Amino acid sequence: MTLEVRKPGLSTTVQDAGRNGHYDVGIPPSGALDQYSLLAANQLVGNPAGAAALECVYMGPELVFTEDAVVAVAGASMQPKVDGEERPLWESFPVSAGQVLSFGYLTGGARAYLAVSGGVAVPEVLGSRSTYALGALGGHEGRPLQEGDVLPVGADGASTPGRSVPEQLRSSFSKDVEVRVMMGLYDHRLTEGGRETFLGTTWTLTPTADRIGFRYKGAELETVEREPPFGAGQDPSNIVDAPYPIGSIQVPGSVEPIILHRDAVSGGGYMMIATVLSGDLDVVAQCAPNSRTRFVAVDLDEALAIRAERRKRIDALKEAVGS
């Protein structure tokens, strides 16, 4: 079966759990920016956890189904509709052949995930169906969806309408969030005061918030004076071009920190001062421009404990929804 794109939405892409092993040549992991919501949507329609779904940003697409299917929407609050009739979020529901699936306005979060039983079956590239638009790679022709696109859907989908994620396992979205980070990388380029400013400031997300990176406004960070090392460049925020971890926070010009997300540029010459915990990248993914973020520093043991908690939450989700 296929999905026909009647309206593409603002920036709808095919995403799965991501691709590993090619970041060394600048091909980032890509994949759903909010992995928890992807997993929930897949779980609801009986797909494997990492199956490909549609990531819908701010404004959803309009899709025509050529055959009967079961779908689910998790993540940002964008009410799904079938032929104009509202359907629930975080629950699976059927769509019949010829019906149109559309979305209401965004009322919370930023990215909704639409899973279809059988999964979106675009070809795998380097082991993943995820779209990496900067490299014109993967997904549907390496780009966000356009009007008239036709997407294949896997034939062996389960039929699991009426499944639901319990309230306590649904993500909730706020315009004020805390994002946990581990300090490090080049944070020694900041003075003690610069580090305090970073952790003490409430940062406002700018409109530059896409799959590559999220840029924030709020304060200027004080740096340590130095003689620039050979090859680094003159600005105090310059370093000899180095690899960028996914989730790393760089601060070009010591103002406007940028969190690199899953379509990250893989390296460059700006000091990185902290890295967002992998699980909290889901929180970042659901932030819309003008929302406010505070960064909270944790150490490795705390980060691993947070990771273990997240794993428990995922296990609870699988248990509750069924597989």
Partner 1 sequence: MSTTEVATARYSWGGDDHIFVELAEEMSLLAMFRAMAITNRLRDERPDGVLDICPANASYQVRYDPDVIEPRTLLALLQDVEAQVGDATDVALATRVVEIPVLYRDPWTTETLMRFRDRHQDPDVTDIEYAARINDFSSVDEFIAAHSGSPWITSMVGFVAGLPFLYQMVGRERQLVVPKYLRPRTDTPKQTVGHGGCFGCIYSVRGAGGYQMFGITPAPIYDPKQTMPDFEDFMVFFRPADVVRFVPIDRERYDAYLADVEAGTFRITARPVEFHAREFLNDPDGYNRRLLEETP
CB of 110 to partner 1, least distance (A): 21
Q: Which is nearer to partner 1, 29 or 60 (CB)?
A: 29
**Read out DSSP for 62-109?**
EEEESS-EEEEEEEEEEEEEETTEE--TTBEEEE-TT-EEEEEEEEEE
Nearer to partner 1 by C-beta: 243 or 322?
243
For residues 323 and 160, give the distance between their C-alpha atoms in angstroms, rounded to a whole number: 9
CB of 182 to partner 1, least distance (A): 5
Minimum distance, C-beta of residue 311 to partner 1, in the bound complex (Å): 7
Phi/psi for 44 (5° steps) reads: -65, -35
CA 290 to each of CA 75, 176, 203, 208: distance values in angstroms, whole numbers, following the listed order: 19, 10, 9, 11
Nearest distance from C-beta of residue 177 to partner 1, angstroms: 17
CB atoms within 10 A of CB 159: 13
For residue 256, the minimal CB distance to partner 1 (Å) is: 12
Residues at the interface with partner 1 (CB under 8 A): 20-27, 125, 132, 134-137, 142, 181-182, 184-185, 229-234, 238, 240-243, 245-248, 265-269, 272, 275-279, 300, 303-304, 306-307, 311
Amino acid code (one letter) for 309: E
Give the residue from 303, 185, 298, 200 showing the smallest Cα distance to 251: 185
Q: Note whether 75 and 171 are within 8 A (CB).
A: yes
Which lies closer to partner 1 via its Cβ, residue 23 or residue 100? 23
CB of 145 to partner 1, least distance (A): 18
Query: SS3 for 124?
Result: coil
Q: How far is the CB of 55 from partner 1 (least distance, A)?
A: 20
Toward partner 1, which CB reaches closer, 69 or 185? Answer: 185
C-alpha closest to that of 37 among 81, 66, 75, 79: 75
Nearer to partner 1, 26 or 104 (CB): 26
For the chain, the distance separating the N- and C-terminal CA atoms, rounded to the nearest angstrom, is 22
Q: For partner 1, which is the closer residue by CB, 61 or 138?
A: 138
Which residue's CB is nearer to partner 1, number 47 or number 238?
A: 238
Residue 232 to residue 240: CA distance in whole angstroms: 4
Count the alpha carbons within 13 Å of 76 in the hemisphere toward its beta carbon: 29
